[in-house]
Chains A and B, each alone.
Chain A
Amino acid sequence: MDLVQKQLYSSPRNYRYIIVVIAITMILFIWSLSTVHLDEMVENGWSVAVNILSGLVHPDLDLLFDLTRQGVLYLLVETLAIGFLGTIIGACLAVPLAFLSASNVVPKPISFVTRLLLIMIRTIPAIVYGLMFVRVTGPGPFAGVLTIGFLSIGMLAKLFVDAIEDLDTSIFESMNSLGCTTFEKIRYGIVPQLLSSFLSIAIYRFDMNLREASVLGLVGAGGIGAPLIFGMNAYRWNEVGSILIGLVVLILIVELFSNHIRSRLVRG
């Protein structure tokens, strides 16, 4: 037996484990197939699809370049504002929660309870928040801002916690030996370590929030969602096409921009 074969045979083998996992996945897959009822298909589905496509490629250009309050441009700016302000509110609320659930900052029981709270905040669907906040502030972009803010807390805090738990604590020892005060330790020991990753996470979430903000109009929480959904329900595909084009372009631009900033933040 030569060296290569020896190496090959000595590698750990867990075929049984892999086969069991694959088998379970297959069983789950077959179980979930029962949700597909192709017999319920709409008969004119194909013609509807063709209609939609032709509407999407012939967008309503008047609407797209309309500069008034009903125009796509204004609605996009409003959506952008909702996403931006929501992200800032969410980030402000997420920072204390993240510190409260980091296991190297607070005792275990507190961090466990905060983690549970974060899972709850994260799981409640956007639309439920939307409906609740519409009740608080009345319909309009304000409700959207609060919804986005609350919605972002869960994911932001979860990612912030990872950054906090990666903190390099040996720096504090050296700062102690220099005689730094607590404030100095926070300012020069913690903030520089966390700021860039926090910012990068917040920008990433802003990206996602823009997408979320575009559907919140469904519950009357402002932004471009309402005209989009109304247009779709009324089969006005030209309008839908122009709104979607605006939305896709905006999201792509923001994504390019945020990727650029984030890669610079990571590289320092």
Chain B
Amino acid sequence: MYNKIIPSKKWTLPNGKVVEEKRSKTPFIFFVLIVATWFSVQLTNFDMQTIISEARQFWIIFADMIPPTWSYLPEVWQPLMDTIKMSLLGSIIGSIVAIPVAYLASSNIVLFKPIVVLTKVFLSILRTLPTLVSALIATLIFGLGTFAGTVAIFLFTVSYVGKLLYEQIEDADMKPFEAMESIGMTRRQAFRYAIFPQVLPNFLSTSLFCFEGNVRYAAILGYVGAGGIGLLLDENIGWRDYTNVGMILFMLILTVYIIETISEHFRKKLI
């Protein structure tokens, strides 16, 4: 389209041949970006002056967090463990459930198209649902507490791991699959012995990565009453007890750092 509106540049070579050079799209993209930015600035009342004059407020809160109240640690411990348990349980069950879901969503394994399309649409909708919204719905159905948070994390994990897994299954090498089918295995058996070993390392790596992210997400779920450290965070911010907030954040950062290091170690081994 773009090339039709703006004619391409013509070069005449020494031997008389005429070569066309397509115009770069960069100026056009740049223009669109500038316009979009301008509109966004208008819509969101973005104002540089406020940032410059009020930025102090932001650092004041940060400064208030230091030093954290170390004596608050025993109270942080239990919710922190709850958060880790929630994300661990949700991630493990979610990753396991993601396998059959991804199986149904792979167009090269399941030949009945409607099932494939339906599963894919279901996964997309599940993935677009913000975790906080599913957590809030879960608290209404299952009551306040860690179980609701676990359900929300479970749903997110199924959608995330499921999507990446079916993409990998569709990319997998189909030759062993066909060979096994030709010697009389059923499609499910062939999937188990030909495709599954191919995607297993990537699947485990994705699940670990998802678990890392889930610990971080689980930290905010308490905000809607779904248990974990978020509840504590919410309370302390409400009371403007920033030294306690500092303590919570410190523990959270430490935990996430440890989990990230462990999971990165295993993920490097897997790939």
**Contact residues in A for B257 (Cβ distance below 8 Å):** 119, 123
Q: How far is the CB of A250 from chain B (nearest CB, A)?
A: 9
Q: How far in angstroms is the closest Cβ of chain B from A22? A: 11
Please name all residues of chain A whose beta carbon is closer than 8 Å to the beta carbon of B106 when the two chains form the complex.
none
For residue B223, CB closer than 8 A to chain A, the reply is yes
A247 near B43: Cβ-Cβ < 8 Å? no
Q: Out of A49, A77, A131, A142, name the residue touching B47 (CB < 8 Å).
A: A142
By a CB distance below 8 angstroms, the chain A residues around B140 are: 42, 45, 48, 52, 232
A80–chain B nearest beta-carbon distance, Å: 8
Interface residues of A (CB under 8 A from B): 25, 28-29, 31-38, 40-42, 45-46, 48-49, 52, 77-78, 81-82, 84-85, 88, 119-120, 122-128, 131-133, 135-137, 140-142, 144-146, 211, 214-215, 218, 222, 228-229, 232, 244, 247-248, 251-252, 255
B144-184 CB contact bits vs A (8 Å, 1 = yes)? 11110010000000000000000000000000000000000
CB atoms of B85 and A232 under 8 A apart: no
CB distance from B198 to the nearest CB of A (A): 16
CB < 8 Å neighbour of B88 from A28, A37, A232 = A28
Q: Does B58 contact A (CB under 8 A)?
A: yes
B15 is an interface residue with CB less than 8 A from chain A: no
Q: Which residues of A contact B145 (CB under 8 A)?
A: 37, 40
A135 and B57 contacting across the interface, CB-CB below 8 Å: yes
Q: B43 to A77, Cβ gap below 8 A?
A: yes
Closest residue to A119 on the B side, CB-wise?
B257
Chain B residues with Cβ below 8 Å from A127 are: 220, 223, 230, 233-234
Is residue B51 within 8 Å, beta carbon to beta carbon, of the partner chain?
Answer: yes
Known contacts: A36-B150, A125-B233. The answer to whether A85 contacts B46 by CB under 8 A is yes
Find out whether the CB atom of A78 lies under 8 angstroms from the CB atom of B142.
Answer: no
Q: Does B129 contact A (CB under 8 A)?
A: yes
Bound-state CA distance A124–B245 (Å) is: 11
- Residue numbers of B with Cβ under 8 A of A are 36-37, 39-41, 43-47, 50-51, 54-55, 57-58, 61-62, 82, 84-86, 88-89, 92, 124-125, 128-133, 136-137, 140-147, 150, 216, 219-220, 223-224, 227, 230, 233-234, 237, 245, 249, 252-253, 256-257, 260
Q: How far is the CA of A110 from the CA of B253 in the complex (A)?
A: 20
A215 touches B132 (CB 8 A): yes
- Please tell me if the beta carbons of B253 and A120 are within 8 angstroms of each other in the complex: yes
Given contacts A142-B44, A215-B130, 14 further A-B contacts (CB under 8 A): A32-B89, A42-B141, A48-B141, A77-B43, A81-B44, A85-B41, A85-B46, A88-B37, A123-B256, A131-B237, A136-B54, A142-B46, A248-B129, A252-B128
In the complex the two chains form, what is the Cα distance from A130 to B102 in whole Å?
A: 35
Question: What residue in chain B is nearest A33 (Cβ atoms)?
Answer: B89
Across the interface, which residues of B come within 8 angstroms of A133, CB to CB? 58
A125 cross-chain contacts in B, Cβ below 8 A? 216, 219-220, 230, 233, 252
Our pick among B44, B89, B92, B150 for the contact of A78 (Cβ within 8 Å) is B44
Q: Are B223 and A244 in contact (CB under 8 A)?
A: no
Given contacts A85-B41, A123-B256, A140-B45, contact A45 B133 (CB under 8 A): no
**Contacting pair A29 B147 (CB below 8 A):** no
A146 / chain B contacts, CB cutoff of 8 Å? 51
**Chain B nearest Cβ from A61, distance in angstroms:** 19
Identify the closest chain B residue to A254 (Cβ): B128
Interface centre among B82, B137, B144, B150 (most CB of A within 10 A): B137
A132 touches B143 (CB 8 A): no
The 4 A-B pairs with the shortest beta carbon distances in the complex, nearest first, are A81-B40, A32-B85, A141-B44, A35-B85
Q: A119: which of B37, B84, B245, B256 is its contact (CB, 8 Å)? A: B256
CB neighbours of A37 from chain B (8 A): 145-147
